Amino acid sequence: MKEKKLSNIVIEMAQQILGKKNPSSAAIDVAVNMVHIAWNFAHEKYQDEPGYIFSVKEIQERMGSANNELISEDAEEMTKILMLYKLKKYPNDRRNIVLCEVKNGDVCVTFL
């Protein structure tokens, strides 16, 4: 069976934390980057991992640009929601996201 396109999965997951039907590009960017973190750390013991801690803090700082368009103001809470979603819907997909960005309205994902 062919793997689902990872950019489509990222969009699907980002929709889980976007609180509006037509979110701003800033909110989409924050959500997509949160999916990037959640995807890569979902199978790890992440709590003490420096990369996880730094990434969540960075996202938390950027959340102001999302203008309350996310389901929470807590980046770590939403990251955990996304991790659970990944583990439930895509437990065997072990692709590692290297870069996840929005370019000209399209979600672009580079992975290994």
Q: 40-69: per-residue pLDDT in tens?
A: 999 888 878 899 999 999 999 999 989 899
Q: For residue 71, is it within any domain? A: yes
Is 30 a domain residue? yes
Would residue 1 count as lying in a domain? no
In a domain, 83, yes or no: yes
Q: Structural domain tally of the chain? A: 1
CA pair distance 112, 101, nearest whole angstrom: 16
- State how far the Cα of 2 lies from the Cα of 9, in Å rounded to an integer: 14
Which domain range does residue 73 map to?
A: 6-111
Give rounded-to-5 percent helix, strand, coil for the chain.
Answer: 55, 15, 35
- For residue 50 the two structure tokens come to 């420096």
Mean pLDDT of the chain: 94
Residues 67-84 have pLDDT tens digits of: 899 999 999 999 999 999
pLDDT at residue 111 tops 70: yes
Is residue 45 one of the residues assigned to a domain?
Answer: yes
Residue 69: name the closest of 19, 35, 21 by CA: 19
Euclidean distance between the first and final Cα of the chain, in Å? 19
